[in-house]
A and B are shown apart, each in its own frame.
Chain A
Amino acid sequence: MATLPQGAVAVADAVRRGAVTARAVLEARLARIAALDPRLNAFTAILADRAREEADAVDAQVAAGRDPGPLAGVPFGVKDNYDVLGRTTMAGSIVNRGLPAATADAVLAARLRAAGAVLVGTQNMDEFAYGFTTENAHYGPTRNPRDTRRSAGGSSGGSAASVAAGLVDLALGSDTNGSIRVPASFCGIFGLKPTYGRLPRTGTFPFVHELDHAGPLARSAADLALVYDCLQGHDSGDFACADRPSEPTSLADPPAGTRVAILDGWFHDMADDDARAAVAKIAAALGATDRVTLPGAEKARAAAFLLTMASAANLHRATLIARAGDYDPATRDRLLAGLLAPADPVQQAQRYRHAFREEARAAFAKHDLLLAPATPCAAPLLGQPTIRVAGADLPTRANAGILTQPISFIGLPVVAVPVSAGALPIAVQIIARPWAEALALQAAAKLERDGVAGLEMAAP
């Protein structure tokens, strides 16, 4: 097992060359899952039989002299809100258990399989993606493989923990307010939240339609870029998906003259010393000295908070009224409050989105990339009620995403890059203008090559 490749690029290369079989890689990952997942609780279901069939099909292609694709034999997982053929999509809840089974895999999972990847299982999350800690009342908490006393972050916590611990080489998550970037930060891996509308969400269970993004998590920037290229492309099943051609990424250094700035104000004030140090390290490596303030960031966060509560409540209205007791109490109380929200502030939040987008556009007139911490601090302990931010104790579950929410609110693409920050990692957001994922990925790849970003696989 020790000689088997690790990571999507290495696994796919070895499988395509016939140096190792997809089945051998899969069996190694299944063995690691069996050994570690009882403690981590990253998975809600292991699909071993299906995965073995897929791995064997990949090996049969190689044996026949055909190329299985750029992700040949790469084991991956999907967050529990992705459709998997023949299974009911639970989305971290028990509320959905009466729904029919999915008749197809989610489009993004199908694209990975078409590229040769092997689906291993579904992964734990906050109920309906409403949270930042993956402390799920129905399925239990996911533990952080860097320190199992701590939260893996959320809501894509199972996806991030499984990648960090090497249970799989890639995972698909979703990010409405920070649910890819927060767990990437706490678990010390890379995560991509693309531009709103870039990747189709077809076949995923929605949380907040106007804020939901789908995206990948990986242990390296190169893996992240590879999987992103396999995911791109329009799908008419998602009304918000832009009809744009794929824009393949490059791992070359960012072009000379790329202008990088540090986000100041809210993004500095609401971060602790570790988070600020992580940003300073990334800024130094990218030659960023300018500081930029988005004065409306706090209001953007408030507006995102409001929209989330009201829109998610609207989605759940019928089941909330009929079966409130089936919800995780933390989810239930927020959704019921959202059902009672007055119309005026909800409308104001929608309109504020336009205003804050224009503020960000002005910043991108002068800079190509903006840097900010992904989380205000490193991973809190499981059950820790508050985090210390800007001299105040703020509730953990609602505030771990205070630095990601303003950015996803206006749909900007972000690569979260992990940095060692003392005993625990913390990630920095590399934020680009709309549709410029490729530039953010180039910066992430440079940081990884320079030894500034990226951590070894966790060994819990």
Chain B
Amino acid sequence: MTVTDDLVEMLATMAGFSIDPAHRPGVAANLALLLDRAALIATPPLAVVAEPAPVFHP
């Protein structure tokens, strides 16, 4: 996954803030890593009973 500095700033603008241009390459690299990890868990679909409850019981 490639994430550009321009994409980083566009996403930040959508979220209501701006990122210092000097910080954007590092943020882009980490966002690319995050999206790679996200792809790992995208499939297979989880059962509908797999809940995302924020209060977790081990």
Specify whether A and B are partners: yes
CB of A353 within 8 A of CB of B56, answer: yes
Report B1-26 CB contacts with A as 1/0, cut-off 8 Å: 00000001001100101011001001
Which residue of B30, B38, B49, B52 contacts A350 across the interface (Cβ within 8 Å)? B52
On whether A354 and B12 interact (CB within 8 A), knowing A329-B26, A333-B23, the answer reads no
Q: Find chain A residues with CB under 8 A from B56 CB.
A: 196-197, 210, 240, 353, 411
Tell whether A345 is near chain B: CB-to-CB under 8 Å: yes
Tell whether A410 is near chain B: CB-to-CB under 8 Å: yes
Segment 329-352 of A: residues with Cβ below 8 Å from B: 329, 332-334, 336-342, 344-345, 347-352
CB of A302 within 8 A of CB of B27, answer: no
Q: Find chain A residues with CB under 8 A from B35 CB.
A: 345
CB of B46 within 8 A of CB of A352, answer: yes
Query: How many angstroms from the CA of A350 to the CA of B50 in the assembled complex?
Result: 9
Max chain A Cβ within 10 angstroms of own Cβ: one of B31, B34, B37: B34
Tell whether A415 is near chain B: CB-to-CB under 8 Å: no
Q: Find chain A residues with CB under 8 A from B42 CB.
A: 345, 348
Max chain B Cβ within 10 angstroms of own Cβ: one of A240, A340, A398, A434: A340
**A25–chain B nearest beta-carbon distance, Å:** 37
Tell whether A217 is near chain B: CB-to-CB under 8 Å: no
Tell whether A321 is near chain B: CB-to-CB under 8 Å: yes
Tell whether A266 is near chain B: CB-to-CB under 8 Å: no
Report A253-296 CB contacts with B as 1/0, cut-off 8 Å: 00000000000000000000000000000000000000000000
**B55–chain A nearest beta-carbon distance, Å:** 7
Q: Find chain A residues with CB under 8 A from B8 CB.
A: 340
Which residue of A329, A336, A354, A412 contacts B19 across the interface (Cβ within 8 Å)? A336
**B42–chain A nearest beta-carbon distance, Å:** 7
Segment 28-58 of B: residues with Cβ below 8 Å from A: 28-31, 33-35, 37-38, 40-42, 46-47, 49-58
Which residue of A195, A196, A309, A345 contacts B41 across the interface (Cβ within 8 Å)? A345
Tell whether A306 is near chain B: CB-to-CB under 8 Å: yes
- The secondary structure that dominates the A interface is helix
CB of A348 within 8 A of CB of B20, answer: no
CB of B27 within 8 A of CB of A340, answer: yes
Q: Find chain B residues with CB under 8 A from A351 CB.
A: 46, 50-52
Max chain B Cβ within 10 angstroms of own Cβ: one of A197, A306, A329, A357: A306
CB of A355 within 8 A of CB of B27, answer: no
Q: Find chain A residues with CB under 8 A from B31 CB.
A: 337, 340-341
Tell whether A28 is near chain B: CB-to-CB under 8 Å: no
Q: Find chain B residues with CB under 8 A from A411 CB.
A: 56, 58
On whether A332 and B23 interact (CB within 8 A), knowing A299-B41, A337-B34, A345-B38, the answer reads yes
CB of B38 within 8 A of CB of A306, answer: yes
Q: Find chain B residues with CB under 8 A from A337 CB.
A: 27-28, 30-31, 33-34
Q: Find chain B residues with CB under 8 A from A333 CB.
A: 23, 26-27, 29-30
CB of B38 within 8 A of CB of A342, answer: yes
Query: How many angstroms from the CA of A340 to the CA of B23 in the assembled complex?
Result: 14
Segment 314-340 of A: residues with Cβ below 8 Å from B: 321, 324-325, 329, 332-334, 336-340
Q: Find chain A residues with CB under 8 A from B58 CB.
A: 195-197, 357, 410-412, 434-435
Q: Find chain A residues with CB under 8 A from B53 CB.
A: 350, 354
**B30–chain A nearest beta-carbon distance, Å:** 4
CB of B19 within 8 A of CB of A324, answer: yes
> Which of chain A's residues has its CB closest to B18's CB?
A321
Q: Find chain A residues with CB under 8 A from B23 CB.
A: 324, 329, 332-333, 336
Residues of B with Cβ closer than 8 Å to A? 8, 11-12, 15, 17, 19-20, 23, 26-31, 33-35, 37-38, 40-42, 46-47, 49-58
Residues of A with Cβ closer than 8 Å to B? 195-197, 210, 239-240, 298-299, 302-303, 305-306, 309, 321, 324-325, 329, 332-334, 336-342, 344-345, 347-355, 357, 398, 410-412, 434-435
Could you show 24 A-B contacts with beta carbons less than 8 Å apart?
A240-B55, A240-B56, A299-B41, A302-B40, A302-B41, A306-B34, A306-B38, A306-B41, A332-B26, A333-B23, A336-B19, A336-B27, A337-B31, A337-B34, A339-B12, A340-B8, A345-B41, A348-B42, A348-B46, A349-B38, A352-B41, A355-B46, A355-B47, A435-B58
